[in-house]
Amino acid sequence: MPLRVAATLLCVFALACTQPTASPPAQPPAAPPAAQSASQAEWDRVLQAAKQEGKINVIGLVGDETQQALTQGFERQYGISVEYQPDPGPGIPPRVSNERGAGQYLWDVYVHGTTTALQAMLPMGAFDPLEPALIRDDIKDLKNWRGGQLEFLDEGRRVLVMTPFQRGTLYINPTMVQPDEIKSYKDLLDPKWRGKLVMNDPRRAGPGQATFTFFYQHPELGPDFIRALGRQEITILRDFVQETDAVAQGRSSILIGTADAIAEARMKQGISAEDLEIVTRVLKRIYG
């Protein structure tokens, strides 16, 4: 699908994701009829072209719920199929690089983490600017966006933030750890947990790195906390399923910073709630 079509449809979806749930503001004065006619005519043309092509190719986050949220409503509203390829993240840059080296430009839209985008996708020139593709007046109107602005992370305005959230996810095996034993991230420094922690590798893009970025930036944690945590003889893995199973099967007691969608999927596949429990909700009340 041409970039202009794909980016425009993406921003329509992004706007829906980022608008507040509170009562909508008063409607602004209507645009002059000529302007309305021009933008509407262009939008109709783009939408028709997209429907004729019939599909949009998206590479994005893993997890059934995420995939459904990024595809089903869009398909119902526009009648355009979304070909969705889930990827944990680290595999995207080499995949796209190899495809483009072979002259294949297969993906219209990237919906994933910012680390992969900033460290790998932007340097290889994988993205184009989004704003030139905007057509609809409600998409261009900044008051409809969170904070009254398009939240780009790069000078070229190619990486748009849609759903910012903090990382710091912990899972425990409740037969080995009582939930009330973890009331603070600093409880992970207790000597009794030495050699009993497992984490997603924070040295590469992914939930482990996002979690340790959260640790680093938090004023109550920071570098000293990370250094102390590093002395806890943590097992470092790069496979989300292996990380989850290590805790569920009792080889480790606490899991730091895995992919939530994978852990939840493993629960559905056979790991019971008695084998794995999330304690992030407790910590979010403390750290926000």
Domain assignment present for 156? no
Q: How many CB atoms lie within 10 A of CB 75?
A: 13
DSSP letter, residue 116: H
Return the minimum-mean-pLDDT range out of 4-18, 32-46, 266-280.
Answer: 4-18
- Both 189 and 225 in one domain: the answer is yes
Residues 177 and 141 in one domain: no
61 in helix, strand or coil? coil
Q: What whole-number distance in Å separates Cα of residue 128 and Cα of residue 108?
A: 10
Query: Is residue 163 in some structural domain?
Result: no
pLDDT value for 222: 94
pTM confidence score: 0.64
Most confident range (mean pLDDT) of 20-29, 151-160, 202-211, 265-274 is 151-160
Q: Tell me what pLDDT residue 100 has.
A: 92
**Whether 56 and 176 share a structural domain:** no
- Per-residue pLDDT, 248: 85
88 and 177 fall within a common domain: no
pLDDT of residue 204: 82
Domain match, 225 and 136 both: no
Q: Do residues 221 and 275 both lie within one domain?
A: yes
Q: Can you give the CATH number for the domain in which 137 is found?
A: 3.40.190
- Which residues lie closer than 8 Å to 163 by C-beta, 6 or more apart? 17, 18
What tokens appear for 38 in the block? 């021009």
- Cβ-based neighbours of 283, under 8 Å, separated by 6 or more: 168, 170, 182, 184, 185
Mean pLDDT, the chain, whole residue set: 80
Q: In this predicted model, what pLDDT tens digit does every residue of 26-75 receive, in sequence order?
A: 444 555 555 557 888 899 999 999 999 999 999 988 878 788 988 999 99
Instruction: Over range 97-102, report the average pLDDT.
Output: 94
pLDDT of the residue at 15: 40
Range of the domain at 79: 3-148
75 with 132, same domain: the answer is yes
Question: How many domains does the chain contain in total?
Answer: 2
Is pLDDT above 60 for 271?
no
pLDDT, residue 17, reads: 40
Domain final position from 86, 115, 148: 148
Tens-digit pLDDT profile for residues 239-266 = 888 988 898 888 999 999 887 777 777 7
Whether 26 and 129 map to the same domain: the answer is: yes
**231 in a structural domain:** yes
Domain boundary among 102, 117, 148: 148
Question: What CATH code is carried by the domain that includes residue 185?
Answer: 3.40.190.10
**Residue 92 placed within a domain:** yes
CB atoms within 10 A of CB 26: 5
- Does residue 48 share a domain with residue 131? yes
- Alpha-helical (H) ranges within the chain are 3-18, 33-53, 64-78, 92-101, 114-116, 137-140, 207-217, 222-230, 240-248, 260-269, 280-287
67 plus 127 within the same structural domain? yes
- Phi, psi (deg, nearest 5) at residue 8: -65, -45
